[in-house]
A and B are shown apart, each in its own frame.
Chain A
Amino acid sequence: MTHEVIMPALGMAQETGLLLAWRKQPGDAVKIGDVLMEVETDKAAMEVEAQADGFVTELRAKEGEDVPVGAVIAIISASMDKAAGAPTEDAPATPAATTDKVDDTPRVAPTVAKPTPQIPEKPKDTAPPSEGRVLASPKAKRLAAEQGLDLTRLAKAGHPQPYRAADLDHLKGMHASQADGGQVGAASQRIFARASVPAAPFDEFCDWLAGQGAVAADLVLATFAAGSFRSATGLQTLAVSVSAPRKPSRIFQDPDRCGLLDLSEDEDGQHADLIVYDLTASRLTEAELAATHAPTVTIARGQANLTVSLSATREQLDDEVLIAMLDAFAGRLEEPLRQLL
């Protein structure tokens, strides 16, 4: 029993996806829900979870490759045997196999991926591979497409075909219960973006601030994060929680509204609108943290760079805000004086 992993359609008009990184390698065991890869579209970078249990036996697309939506990019097998003998992503045969898919997918993709915008992770792989097309009345297909329902889920659940309009009620129930469970519901889906900026400007700025008074670098980060977040969301008041390894987390109310030298901790603040993890003083170069109650900014130090990422659920931020926020934040790190304007 093998499971084909395809490049998912993460947006309505998306034709290709940029494979940023594999999180699993051939031979790795995976469970449903494990992050399998990171994919970037023209809108955002997202983590894509595995839809089957087993072992990664084959990776057909390379990191950095732009892959047509619907193309098979990895294989998950139930047994380990195949995994041992499977070609790695560097095997010479795989690029050709991927290229061959290019011609096929545009014709295949519309039929399998039409109703998927709300559940982008699983446009095709919910139907058993041997089953082929799902039989449904023209009316049922039209209504499913209009309402963003995926008829292949009925097939996977063993609901007898062909499907008619009345079967959509059952399907809606399935969608609702999945959304409640927080698995693949659109609202609770995790969205993610990352940027990289040179570390020098920020470091020099912090050194200069330290010479002026007693402002710690992590509080500067809180201020920058709050300023970018406010410009992207338009929030009137916002509280920022700042955490760093081996330090207690602190909450600041509207840190960007007071001068940097007057910054003080807000003792009463309970709920943070934004969480900042400062990993610059640690050995970590990157961290994937579980979704929390608020959008989370992570700052880590590379060799000469700072890597900043923003992670949120769709419920908390939409794609545009996520991108605008991270872009503004990275810009402030790159040119700290912008924050003072």
Chain B
Amino acid sequence: MREITLSRAVNEAIAEEMRRDPAIFLIGEDVAEAGTPFKVLSGLVEEFGTERIIDTPISEPGFMGMAVGAAMTGSRPIVDLMFGDFIFLVMDQLCNQAAKTHYMSGGKLKVPLVLRTNLGATRRSAAQHSQSLHALVAHIPGLKVALPSSAYEAKGLLKTAIRDDNPVVIFEDKLMYNDKAPVPEEEYLLPFGKAEILRQGKDVTLVGTSSMVQVCRKAADLLAADGISAEVIDPRTIVPLDEDTIVGSAKKTSRAIVVDEGHQNFGVTAEIAARIADKAFYYLDNPVQRMGAMDVPVPFSPALEDLTVPTPEQVAERARRLCRGEI
């Protein structure tokens, strides 16, 4: 199978869907000729023109509000939010309007909108361009949240998001845009709420999201060398969450570590760990472990920034201690 970058996979997903459905348009900052700072959208404006690939002024609340209104009135907008950190600017449009309109209109209105943005630190972008804020929107009923961890998932989940009649926020890992992975030529969609078991194991379950999926896979390799068999699960979407697969795995292995790049406090790791503790309680041999980003603003200093994100070595060491009964 051919291998393409995550960036290319996203580009293909948008192009394929825009060809299929003329109601789809894309709006955001530097999305046309510039093709975004990460060059994800290169070539789209040439194919679809400036009517459907719309550059905006630097005004996130403005273009987000436009997109919500357009979605309510029959269009299917894809909003490009240059950095996930800017989600704070569009919270009212996203959480008070897009998330609630279907409910408050008694089902008469729908908001088929995709907010494409990113997460991930260690790109030396400092505290305001390095956050992983998916927990914020996962907290709001009415929003779906997808966290692709590879080019394959990025394409399949984005296409599903675009076809969904509800607002979906999809976070891409901005450090992964140039990572290649096998992606089929033919069309495919990936369902929401269906986790992927990337590796079977019997001693400990590693649940990783987005950027942390690779961390968990590498940790599993390290653990295998020690004779510890780790099962690696990628939920793919956290809203909806495939609780059955995660809980089933935790029951099987009796131990679980949840790894996510958002801040650990009140975050995605807390939610998933709580569901495991709740549903798999009588099968657990150790407390469920959470490993999130350090609860500090992401430092600009490279040496310090690298310390804030869980590494394969740290995950593996936590798993070893769990299996030895030290935790």
Contact = CB atoms under 8 A, between A and B. Distances in A.
Interface string B280-300: 011111100000000000000
B254 interface: yes
A269 interface: no
B106 interface: no
A139 B325 contact: no
A141 B254 CA distance: 13
A134 interface: no
A137 interface: yes
A137 B281 CA distance: 9
A166 B255 CA distance: 13
Contacts of B284: 137-139
A165 B254 CA distance: 9
Contacts, number: 25
Category for how many chain A residues contact B: under 10
Interface string B143-163: 000000000000000000000
Interface residues of B, number: 8
A234 to B, nearest CB: 41
A164 B285 contact: yes
Contacts of B283: 138-139, 142
By CB atoms of chain B within 10 A, which of A138, A142, A164, A165 has the most? A138
A272 interface: no
Contacts of B325: 164, 166
A66 B284 CA distance: 40
Contacts of B282: 138-139, 141-142
Nearest to B283: A139
A86 interface: no
A335 B285 CA distance: 61
Nearest to A145: B282
A309 B308 CA distance: 76
A137 B283 CA distance: 9
Nearest to B325: A164
A164 B326 CA distance: 11
Contacts of A141: 282
A232 interface: no
A164 B281 CA distance: 13
Contacts of A166: 285, 325
Contacts of A138: 281-285
Contacts of B281: 138
A140 B254 CA distance: 10
Interface in A163-187: 164-166
A162 B157 CA distance: 43
Nearest to B281: A138
B201 to A, nearest CB: 16
A323 B285 CA distance: 43
Nearest to A165: B285
Contacts of A164: 285-286, 325
Interface in B242-256: 254
Contacts of A165: 254, 285
Interface in B303-327: 325
Interface string A220-232: 0000000000000
Nearest to A164: B285
A332 B23 CA distance: 97
B205 to A, nearest CB: 14
Contacts of A137: 254, 284-286
A29 B324 CA distance: 46
Nearest to A140: B285
Interface in B153-205: none
A221 B282 CA distance: 55
18 contacts: A137-B284, A137-B285, A137-B286, A138-B282, A138-B283, A138-B284, A138-B285, A139-B254, A139-B283, A139-B284, A140-B285, A141-B282, A142-B283, A164-B325, A165-B254, A165-B285, A166-B285, A166-B325
Nearest 10 CB-CB pairings of A with B? A139-B285, A137-B285, A142-B282, A164-B285, A138-B282, A165-B285, A138-B281, A138-B284, A164-B325, A139-B254
Given A137-B254, A139-B283, 8 more contacts: A137-B284, A138-B281, A138-B283, A140-B285, A164-B286, A165-B254, A165-B285, A166-B325
